[in-house]
Amino acid sequence: MAKAEIHAGICGFNTTVRTTMDGDVCKVHIESECKAIQKLAEHLTEVDPLGEISSRRRMPKTLDAGHQYCTHAACPVPVGIIKAIEVAAHLALPADATIKVFKDND
């Protein structure tokens, strides 16, 4: 199992993602304070992990769901979901990913 805790930023919504492998399929369980992500979670319950790690052949199911349900293009939740899928499928080691945003005082 892999778990990701995603703090989306200025919206203040938090999301927890739990992923587990079941054969070749990754089961995805998402809990979120965000209504858009809750809707995404209803439709994204399992994925093929190999299909999620590359967008060369087709759009990953997670990013497609993000495009369909997220109301903010910069929402980090879909990418956080993919990171948890990678770890559950042993396609990546668990490590934090960080985006720090600052405003220059020009």
CATH number of the domain residue 10 falls in? 3.90.1010.10
Give pTM, 2 decimals.
Answer: 0.93
Residue 99 in domain: no
Q: Which domain holds residue 75?
A: 2-88
Residue 12 in domain: yes
Residue 27 in domain: yes
Residue 106 in domain: no
What local confidence, expressed as pLDDT, does residue 34 receive? 97
Q: With residue 29 as reference, give the H or E element that holds it.
A: strand 25-32
How many domains does the chain contain in total? Answer: 1
Residue 103 in domain: no
| Per-residue pLDDT at 40 exceeds 90 | yes
The arithmetic mean of pLDDT across residues 16-24, rounded, is 98
Residue 13 in domain: yes
- Res. 28 pLDDT band, cuts 50 70 90: very high
The arithmetic mean of pLDDT across residues 49-67, rounded, is 90
Residue 96 in domain: no
35-46 per-residue burial string, b: 16 or more CB within 10 A, e: under 16: ebbebbbeebee
To the nearest whole number, what is the mean pLDDT of the chain? 94
